[in-house]
């Protein structure tokens, strides 16, 4: 990004005399005063803390200008300042202006599981042929998507943007903000069911991603999901599907799942074997979505294969890392829901080891009134002969612990309230041996990344 501050002022209809700002160049935007680059426009947002309180910190860290909401007194007089009615709305308006200015093709990705992995795969595939910008980390909401847009370099040809949601209307807004050329729904699960009540209503909210899709846009989705198939019939867009069934536009004809990677062949290119550097057969669907996008953008099959094989994954998604004692750790500490846990447990059980399999699971958050039942419902995924040690933490994981008490004795089943993470770590360290493999899986609010840091000596 590189824009003159006077241009920004006009774009967001700032109530300022901008004559003095013609020589101020903005090269980035940031809402966190601690993490910005020199040349940044600071965006003070009102939340748990009011960003206007941190203008001095922003200036010290390199901000060259700031927005300021008109209902806040004491606007800076010795610093380039744009007065706006609402700083978040101004950020969103600026991102829309900049997106139109750069005019890349936009690929939007959502889904209950797999959207970040799919976003990374799509970006890697397209980057073999185009200049690509993708969503950083989990910048996928009303703040993060505009920040992603404004992070584009002027030569960006394709923007791959991840879109999250936790309430109805959110994807409608984000889709209309960026007007994607391609919209992808990876799958419908139970994530955020606390706010929606049923998977059917989750599906309704997910298809809001189509509300801003351009008239000649393409809708790509999991064709094995009846909830999406039903809703696709009501959409007036070109549709392409992926999945395991032969009725889809692309599906795998052969899959070889290994501990650290998966290779597969599809119906589309029978002479090409694609490989992704990720465990878990469930990641094949994410790769299939990326292949469809690559083919849609006329990327050559060999380049698609290269992009998938060399994908740079967003941190804290499913990955194998080495522990201090020689154990291998399958880490997925960013988010969790019943579908994802069952899939990763299947992957974990399929990995050969000369030691024990140790599963460490934390609460799956935002499951609402059904939460305890959904936690207890994980019990059939466990077998004491396949997973020898189980560590559970969180209030709703108690329901699973109660279910597993008939399969595991007290030396193999360990339950902790969420406040006892430190004790879990101590007990886990005492249990692990060099040949063991360990699974870490929980919603981010349980903070199993702290366990990972200590087990890998990064604390």
Give tens-digit pLDDT for 400-445. Answer: 999 999 999 999 999 999 999 999 999 999 999 999 999 999 998 9
pLDDT band at 193 (very low <50, low <70, confident <90, very high): low
Q: What is the pLDDT of residue 458?
A: 59
Which two tokens mark 35? 């993490």
112-116, 121-125, 375-379: least confidently modelled range: 112-116
pTM: 0.86
Q: What is the pLDDT of residue 313?
A: 86
Q: How far apart, in Å, are the Cα atoms of 336 and each of 5, 24, 157, 201?
A: 42, 44, 33, 19
The contacts found for 401-409 with CB under 8 angstroms, 24 or more apart, are: 402/376, 403/376, 403/378, 403/379, 404/379, 407/379, 407/382, 407/383, 408/382, 408/384
Mean pLDDT of all residues in 59-73: 95
Mean pLDDT of all residues in 169-173: 97
Those residues whose C-beta lies under 8 Å from the C-beta of residue 214, and which sit 6 or more positions away, are 179, 180, 181
Work out whether strand 158-162 and strand 105-110 pair parallel, antiparallel, or are unpaired: parallel
pLDDT at position 17 over 60: no
Could you give the domains of the chain?
A: 3-85 (3.40.1390.10), 104-309 (3.40.1190.10), 319-455 (3.90.190.20)
113 annotated as a binding-site residue? yes
Q: For helices 301-309 and 283-296, what crossing angle results, to 10°?
A: 140
115 annotated as a binding-site residue? yes
The contacts found for 380-385 with CB under 8 angstroms, 24 or more apart, are: 381/341, 381/342, 381/345, 381/346, 382/345, 382/407, 382/408, 383/349, 383/407, 384/408, 384/412
Q: What is the pLDDT of residue 303?
A: 98
411 annotated as a binding-site residue? no
b/e code 352-391 from CB counts within 10 Å (16+ = b): eeebbbbbbbbbbbbbeeebbebbbbbbebbeeeebbbbb
Mean pLDDT of all residues in 368-385: 94
pLDDT at position 196 over 80: no
Spatial CA neighbour of 46 closest among 29, 70, 28, 22? 70
Task: Output 41 or 350, whichever has higher pLDDT.
Answer: 41
111 annotated as a binding-site residue? yes
112 annotated as a binding-site residue? yes
Residue found by looking up tokens 């060399």 in the block: 310
């Amino acid at each position: 990004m590189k824009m003159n501050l006077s241009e920004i002022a006009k774009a967001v209809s700032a109530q300022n005399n901008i004559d003095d700002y013609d020589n101020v160049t903005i090269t980035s935007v940031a809402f966190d005063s601690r993490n910005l680059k020199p040349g940044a426009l600071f965006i003070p947002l009102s939340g748990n803390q009011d960003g206007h309180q941190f203008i001095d910190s922003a200036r010290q860290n390199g901000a060259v200008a700031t927005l300021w909401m008109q209902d806040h007194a004491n606007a800076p007089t010795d610093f380039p300042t744009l007065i706006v009615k609402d700083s978040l709305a101004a950020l969103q308006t600026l991102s829309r202006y900049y997106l139109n200015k750069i005019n890349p093709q936009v690929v939007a990705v959502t889904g209950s599981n797999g959207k970040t992995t799919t976003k990374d795969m799509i970006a890697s595939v397209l980057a073999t042929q185009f200049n690509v910008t993708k969503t950083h980390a989990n910048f996928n909401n009303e703040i993060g998507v505009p920040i992603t847009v404004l992070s584009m370099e002027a030569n960006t040809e394709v923007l791959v943007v991840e879109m999250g949601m936790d309430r109805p209307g959110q994807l409608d807004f984000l889709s209309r903000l960026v007007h994607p050329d391609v919209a992808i729904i990876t799958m419908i699960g139970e994530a955020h069911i606390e706010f929606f009540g049923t998977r059917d209503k989750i599906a309704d909210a997910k298809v809001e991603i189509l509300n801003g899709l351009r008239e000649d846009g393409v809708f790509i989705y999991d064709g094995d999901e009846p909830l999406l198939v039903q809703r696709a019939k009501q959409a007036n867009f070109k549709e392409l599907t992926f999945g395991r069934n032969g009725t889809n536009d692309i599906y795998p004809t052969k899959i070889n799942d290994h501990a650290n990677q998966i290779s597969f062949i599809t119906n589309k290119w029978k002479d090409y074997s694609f490989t992704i550097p990720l465990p878990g057969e469930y990641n094949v669907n994410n790769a299939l979505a990326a292949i469809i996008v690559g083919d849609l953008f006329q990327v050559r099959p060999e380049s698609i294969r290269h992009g998938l094989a060399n994908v740079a994954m967003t941190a804290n998604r499913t990955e194998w890392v080495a522990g201090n004692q020689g154990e291998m750790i399958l880490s997925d500490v960013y988010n969790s829901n019943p579908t994802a846990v069952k899939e990763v447990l299947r992957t974990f059980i399929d990995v050969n080891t000369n030691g024990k399999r140790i599963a460490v699971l934390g609460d799956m958050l935002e499951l609402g009134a059904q939460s305890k039942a959904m936690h207890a419902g994980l019990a059939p995924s466990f077998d004491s002969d396949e997973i020898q040690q189980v560590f559970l933490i969180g209030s709703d994981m108690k329901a699973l612990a109660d279910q597993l008490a008939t399969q595991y004795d007290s030396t193999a089943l360990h339950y902790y309230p969420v406040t006892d993470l430190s004790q879990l770590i101590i007990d886990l360290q005492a249990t692990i041996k060099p040949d063991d493999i360990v699974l870490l899986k929980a919603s981010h609010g349980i903070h199993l990344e702290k366990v990972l840091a200590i087990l890998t000596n990064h604390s």
